[in-house]
Structure 1
Amino acid sequence: MIRTATSEDVPAIYAMVRELAEYEKALDEANATEDQLREALFGERPAAYAHVAVSDDDGDVVGFALWFLNFSTWRGVHGVYLEDLYVRPERRGGGYGKALLTELARICVERGYGRLEWSVLDWNAPSIAFYESLGARPQEEWTVYRLTDGALAELGAA
């Protein structure tokens, strides 16, 4: 079952964010707190949204999709940027990942959004194969750039 996350789901989502960061070999970069996540999802001005996959067997939250809106000047409409998609390893293969992406695609279609996009690490072959099996294609002509930490502070202070 897929449903919109609630504030009560934040501890489970936070734990899975940490699991994902560890899997991506970047746990030391995952500095967000549970309170920050709760504020981002359920504060006065939510910056992101989340859906959770819940096991029919025991009612446990076994996966999540955390996303936010972006905007395409070329298409003139919003899109969804999927920040994180994660299903606990012992629950993979049960259709939860596909169900989460299906729900986000449904939201896009229902609301007239033009894109559903995300990034994937180039070494993450199982995820790449999964995404391509759903019809997703890499945007090889684009390179993602990012400013963080010192470089961001330096440019922002200029």
Structure 2
Amino acid sequence: MIRAIEQSDHRVWTQLWTAYLQFYETVLPQEVFASTWSRLLDPNEPTWGALALQDGQPIGLVHWLYHRTNWAVADNCYLQDLYVMPDVRGGGHGRALIEHVATIARARPCAQLYWTTHKTNTTAMQLYDRLASQTGFVPYRMTLSV
């Protein structure tokens, strides 16, 4: 089951997002955690979050945001963060989280849903290759601030 993040999920969301960041060997300041949490709960923000549940317990998360594109009239949807706990991977939760976002993005409507992953995340790429196509573009990032 997939459901929207709720105010009462703060503790478990923090645990899941911390595990996701650790997977990518990243540490963010507490102010980023606080800001992200606040944005996820603010209906006026263009960013959203959901949890995957197994037996009523959160075992995964997804964050997405909408943004304008010059290549279409409709917005694009960027699936920014996707994480499923290691002990339940392979159970269809990652696919369910992606499909949850895709359903919402289609209804908005969005022109496209896209995401990135690290080239070493080969296990996840097996799923992604079944759901979407690689663009051939190589992402670059210039860090300006956190």
Q: How does 1:9-158 map to 2 (within 5 A)?
A: 9-24=9-24, 26-27=25-26, 29-33=27-31, 34-43=33-42, 45-55=44-54, 57=55, 59-134=56-131, 136-140=132-136, 142-148=137-143, 152=144
SS of structure 1 residue aligned to 2:80: strand
The answer to whether the Cα contact below 8 Å between 1:39 and 1:46 also exists between their aligned partners in 2 is: no
- Within 1, Cα distance between the matches of 2:109 and 2:34? 32
TM-score normalised according to structure 1 size: 0.82
Q: Which runs of 5+ in 1 are unaligned?
A: 154-158
Structure 2: which 5+ runs fail to align?
Answer: none
2:79 is paired with a residue whose SS is strand
User: Residue in 2 aligned with 1:156?
Assistant: none
Shift of 1:31: 2.5
Provide the C-alpha distance between the structure 1 equivalents of 2:36 and 2:15, rounded to a whole number of angstroms: 11
Given that residues 17 and 61 in structure 2 are in contact (C-alpha distance below 8 angstroms), is that contact kept between their aligned partners in structure 1?
no
- Corresponding position of 1:7: 7
| 1:72 to 1:47, Cα distance in 2 relative to 1, 3 A | closer
CA spacing shift, 1:44–1:67, aligned 2, 3 Å: closer
Contact 1:69/1:79 (8 A) holds in 2: yes
1:35 and 1:107 map into 2 onto residues whose CA distance is: 25
Structure 2 residue matching 1:115: 3-state secondary structure:
strand
The list of structure 1 runs, each at least 4 consecutive aligned residues, that deviate by more than 4 angstroms after superposition, is none
Q: CA RMSD in A?
A: 1.8
Tell me which structure has the larger Cα radius of gyration.
1
Q: Is the 8 A contact 2:59 2:85 kept in 1?
A: yes
RCO higher in 1 or 2 (8 Å CA, sep ≥ 6)? 2
Q: Give the superposition deviation at 1:8.
A: 1.4
Tell me the TM-score normalized by structure 2: 0.88
Number of corresponding residues:
144
